[in-house]
Structure 1
Amino acid sequence: MAISLSKGQKVDLTKTNPGLTKVIVGLGWDTNKYDGGKDFDLDASVFLLNASGKAASEKDFIFYNNPQNSNGSVVHSGDNRTGAGDGDDEVIKVDLSAVPQEAEKISFCITIHEAQERKQSFGQVSNAYARIVNEATGEEVIRYDLGEDFSVETAIVVGELYRHSGEWKFSAVGAGYKDGLAGLVKDFGLA
């Protein structure tokens, strides 16, 4: 049974699941009724961060146009342009045993493509979640439902996998950015 987290909570991942090395991080969302005439395109992205919370290079920014990091330990499944249907909208596979040692954190984010131009924000998004699944068994081990407490934000740091005493943990972050992807890129040292 999956552990359900609230914003700010942290939980052991590998310590409580011995032998777990390959996980699937599923991100999903729905859009509320929207009459702006433009499609609503949300995108998952991942940043591999060093001890100072920065990405060492562009290769540590994984998204639909750069679907994996240098050694292939973090792989993005591809862009879902509509978010239609049930289940995960975008998926990232992570081989925890192969993540480069200098990567202390793996930050999972959702952004709205062309949010400013389309006048869209996370105030128009509902049922956003992140879940971690054991790739070998298909079992959901962690779930974080973001709730509806966003308004003008155009990017969200959903959660982070991070190293702690030789184990991997997950933190439910739920931090919104009104500067979209540009704000994330800048904060993570790539701008």
Structure 2
Amino acid sequence: MALTLSKNQSISLEKTAGSGLSKVTLGLGWDPVKAGLLGKLFGGGGGIDLDASCILFDANLKSMDVVWFRQLKSRDGSVVHNGDNRTGEGDGDDESIEVDLNGLPAAVTHLVFTVNSFTGENFERVQNAYCRIVNPANNVELARFNLSQQGAHTGLVMARLSRGAAGWEFHTIGSTASGRTVDDLVGLAAQAVRA
């Protein structure tokens, strides 16, 4: 059974999934807050365009590459975004990012996952948001982090994968931010790794 993590908690992927883990998928899911009749008349309701992204950092926290809806694959091909969902409608993951852990360049030590509201709508209009890490070999969910913090923010640094001597570790972050694209969150993502 998958672990549900709180903000600033970590798990070892090696201990959770076993030493044979070579790939992981980060799934992001959300639903738009349903507006009542008056809300619909005044422009409420409808989909929310959230965008999952991944920033690849080296040990000195220098950004080496970014994967997002405008660049669906890292330059080396080890990180792949599965496409943009512009509504959040439907069950399950709305966006996902696949990571080939063995294919990552040796210089990459941290992968930071972010989410932004490209259209500028804030997280007051988002409900049931989560990110989860999955072993794609058997589709087993290893950990889940509920992104329940609603507010006026338009971005969030969700979580990170970090490479250490004992293998890969998944760490939840949950830092809110303002920004329409991943470019607006690179500095905050680096700070979150330092913390």
What CA RMSD, in Å, does the superposition of the two structures yield over aligned residues? 1.8
Instruction: Tell me: CA distance 1:73–1:144, structure 2 relative to 1, closer, same or farther (3 Å).
Output: same
Correspondence for 2:73: 68
Instruction: Tell me: CA distance 1:48–1:110, structure 2 relative to 1, closer, same or farther (3 Å).
Output: same
Matched residue type, 2:14: T
Query: Which digits, 9 at most, give the CA deviation of each residue in 1:64-100, with x for residues without a partner?
Result: 1211111111000001111110000001111111111
SS at match of 1:48: strand
Instruction: Tell me: CA distance 1:31–1:90, structure 2 relative to 1, closer, same or farther (3 Å).
Output: same
Structure 2, unpaired ranges of 5+: 191-195
Instruction: Tell me: CA distance 1:188–1:159, structure 2 relative to 1, closer, same or farther (3 Å).
Output: closer
Matched residue type, 1:170: F
> TM-score with structure 2 length normalisation?
0.86
Q: CA deviation at 1:150?
A: 3.0
Q: CA deviation at 1:121?
A: 0.4
Contact 1:153/1:180 (<8 A) preserved: no
Matched residue type, 1:176: T
Match of 2:107 among 102, 112, 115: 102
Contact 1:55/1:188 (<8 A) preserved: no
Instruction: Tell me: CA distance 1:180–1:54, structure 2 relative to 1, closer, same or farther (3 Å).
Output: farther
Following the alignment from structure 2 to structure 1, what is the Cα–Cα distance between the partners of residues 95 and 85? 6
* Residue 12 of structure 2 corresponds to residue 4 of structure 1: no
Matched residue type, 2:53: S
Correspondence for 1:177: 177
Give the aligned length.
181
Query: Which digits, 9 at most, give the CA deviation of each residue in 1:123-168, with x for residues without a partner?
Result: 2211111111111111111111122x23111011111011121400
Correspondence for 2:161: 161
% same residue: 41
Matched residue type, 2:71: N
Structure 1, unpaired ranges of 5+: none
Correspondence for 1:79: 84
Following the alignment from structure 2 to structure 1, what is the Cα–Cα distance between the partners of residues 157 and 187? 13
Matched residue type, 1:62: V
> TM-score with structure 1 length normalisation?
0.87
Following the alignment from structure 1 to structure 2, what is the Cα–Cα distance between the partners of residues 172 and 62? 19
The 5-angstrom pairing of residues 135-154 of structure 1 reads 135-147=136-148, 149-154=149-154
Q: CA deviation at 1:185?
A: 3.7
SS at match of 1:14: helix
Matched residue type, 1:30: D
